[in-house]
Amino acid sequence: MGAARREVLTSIQSPTKTMNSRYERSSSPTNRSAAQGGAGPLKTLRIGRIKATIWENGAEQRTFYNVTFSRTYMDEQKKFHDSDSFGRDDLLVLGKLADQAHTFVCECVAGQKGGETG
């Protein structure tokens, strides 16, 4: 990852107003990486079949956040899968989830800055 992209990911500003417990951290990981031994997602937000998964990563003594979006669908054998492709009708929901994910990440960053002593 380039230095400029890393800087953008770590420079998210905190909101002027924080939200309530709607965006509390997940208590248990709910992703395949947790089953593989890695750290699970920090939070998963869902509206219908669209979900946003928020990941917390540390690098060079800093914490940054990434968000992945996916759409759940069922195949002909009635098995669920995730796709990163979205149709026209998914885009507004995707935007709402992006807004919620942004709010959650900003609250996390504000919490980190509030906990620092300087």
**pLDDT tens for residues 21-42?**
344 444 333 444 444 446 899 9
Q: Going edge to edge, which strands form the sheet with 62-74?
A: 43-47, 50-59, 62-74, 80-83
Mean pLDDT, to the nearest integer, of 57-79? 93
Nearest to 3 by CA among 11, 96, 52: 11
Q: Residue 2: pLDDT above 80?
A: no
Question: Phi-psi region for residue 75, left (φ > 0), alpha (ψ -120 to 50) or beta?
Answer: beta
With cut-offs at 50, 70 and 90, classify the pLDDT of residue 60: confident
Cβ atoms 50, 86 nearer than 8 A = yes
Question: Which of these ranges, 5-9, 29-33, 65-69, has the smallest mean pLDDT?
Answer: 5-9
Cα angle 58-38-24, degrees, rounded to a multiple of 5: 65
Mean pLDDT (the chain, rounded): 76
Cα angle 68-12-65, degrees, rounded to a multiple of 5: 35
The ranges assigned to domains in the chain are 3-115
Cα angle 20-23-29, degrees, rounded to a multiple of 5: 150
Could you tell me the pTM of the whole model? 0.65
